[in-house]
């Protein structure tokens, strides 16, 4: 049973969910999950119930990995790990596994999550902030050509897309040491050269599936040198040798993510996904740039395609705006508590018509309130 539909699959009883995560999922994927909920393809039970050692689930996880490898063209010398604990757990797992020689790493600080990652790494070695946009409320990505990297770093860490602040890397550092990227909020939103990175990690709940699954893509030569204090559940070597089945994995989340991977493949892969995402983002940015009532927080060329924060001319109207959007079936537009304002997250499964409906309401709101 396929999950191909992307045009004309809109269920009019559903809202347009602009949440930063957990986020909107493809409706055809949800429909397939519903159809297989109590009986997965004739096996007589739900994926929620089956043993992770069963041949049925082994087929699910192996197909999910194969499809992810196809989507990202992952080289054969990289392992794919399906883990738990979210990206926040990887803030610890990365240094515990990659502090091999000097126990030093370089971090580029572009927001709350990269800052937290650096603070966690500092518990196990030296985490050096080599560049930061914090002095400008994280409103830009530092100029990569102006950054000095340390030759004694075991790795360099970046956060590819900043969910809270709405910035994203258009290019990545070229480093002599392994480049590590937290890609949680733009994973699978565009093609990516995996070979440029030593390690990529991402929570699934933005673009890749239900919450509960964390994916790690790691070059094989970086596995096997974990610090002695590394907990067994954070040791990449343990997970790799067990093919992500050392203990019970997040079975249902892996199943859901596998359906999303297949949906992406059926609909043109990541090149097509990026085209759709750019079209959606351009609709909203174009409106914001010409409006005298709403304004985008981030200036080009640092704008994210996934998370678009914006402000109203008068903060006193924020509550009314949110009331009107919710009444119109557009939810979760309130900005992060640390930044205020609004934020529209336009992940892969957000349809273009959702963004068009939002900008139409914004234009009407501006006409009435401006």
pTM: 0.94
Q: Report the pLDDT value the prediction gives residue 9, as an integer from 0 to 100.
A: 56
CA distance 82 to 60: 12
Q: Under CATH, what is the fold of the domain 32-266?
A: 3.40.640
CA distance 135 to 109: 11
Which residues form the catalytic set? 113, 182, 206
Q: Report the pLDDT value the prediction gives residue 340, as an integer from 0 to 100.
A: 87
Q: Report the pLDDT value the prediction gives residue 12, as an integer from 0 to 100.
A: 65
- Residue 71 structure tokens: 């989507």
Domain regions of the chain by residue span: 32-266, 268-369
**Can you tell me the mean pLDDT for 332-354?**
94
Q: Is the dihedral of CA 213, 171, 277, 73 positive or negative?
A: negative
Q: Under CATH, what is the fold of the domain 268-369?
A: 3.90.1150
Mean pLDDT of the chain: 95
Q: Report the pLDDT value the prediction gives residue 101, as an integer from 0 to 100.
A: 84
CA distance 142 to 124: 26
**Can you tell me the mean pLDDT for 322-349?**
94
90-145 confidence digits (pLDDT tens): 999 999 999 988 899 999 999 999 999 999 999 999 999 999 999 999 999 999 99
| % residues pLDDT > 90 (the chain) | 93
Place of tokens 């557009």: 330
310-322 confidence digits (pLDDT tens): 999 999 999 999 9
pLDDT above 60 (res 7): no
Helix ranges restricted to H, 103-193: 112-121
- Residue 356 structure tokens: 């068009």
């Amino acid at each position: 049973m396929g999950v191909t539909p992307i045009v004309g699959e809109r269920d009019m009883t559903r809202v347009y969910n602009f949440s930063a995560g957990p986020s909107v999922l493809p409706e055809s994927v949800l429909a397939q999950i519903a159809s297989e909920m109590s009986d997965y393809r004739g096996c007589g039970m739900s994926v929620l119930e089956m043993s992770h050692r069963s041949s049925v689930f082994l087929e699910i996880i192996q197909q999910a990995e194969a499809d992810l490898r196809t989507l990202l063209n992952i080289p054969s010398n990289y392992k794919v790990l399906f883990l738990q604990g979210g990206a926040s757990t990887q803030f610890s797992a990365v240094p515990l596994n990659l502090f091999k020689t000097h126990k030093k790493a370089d971090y580029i600080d572009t927001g709350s999550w990269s800052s937290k990652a650096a603070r966690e790494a500092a518990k196990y070695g030296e985490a050096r902030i080599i560049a930061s946009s914090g002095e400008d409320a994280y409103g830009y990505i530092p100029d990569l050509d102006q950054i000095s990297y340390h030759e004694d770093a075991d790795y360099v860490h970046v956060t590819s897309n900043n969910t809270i602040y709405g910035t994203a890397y258009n290019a990545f550092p070229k480093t002599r040491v392994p480049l590590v990227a937290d890609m949680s909020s733009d994973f699978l939103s565009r093609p990516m050269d995996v070979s440029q990175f030593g390690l990529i990690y991402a929570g699934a709940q933005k673009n890749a599936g239900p919450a509960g699954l964390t994916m790690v893509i790691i070059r094989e030569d970086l596995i096997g040198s974990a610090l002695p204090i590394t907990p067994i559940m954070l040791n990449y070597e343990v997970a790799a040798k067990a093919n992500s089945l050392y203990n019970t994995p997040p079975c249902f989340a892996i199943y859901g993510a596998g359906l999303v991977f297949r949906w992406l493949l059926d609909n043109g892969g990541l090149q097509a996904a990026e085209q759709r995402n750019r079209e959606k983002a351009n609709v909203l940015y174009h409106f914001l740039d010409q409006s005298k009532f709403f304004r985008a927080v981030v200036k080009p060329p640092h704008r994210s395609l996934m998370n678009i924060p914006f402000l109203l001319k008068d903060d006193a109207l924020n509550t009314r705006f949110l009331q009107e959007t919710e009444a119109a079936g557009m939810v979760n537009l309130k900005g992060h508590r640390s930044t205020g304002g609004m934020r529209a997250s336009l992940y892969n499964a957000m349809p273009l018509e959702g963004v068009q409906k939002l900008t139409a309401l914004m234009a009407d709101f501006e006409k009435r309130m401006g």
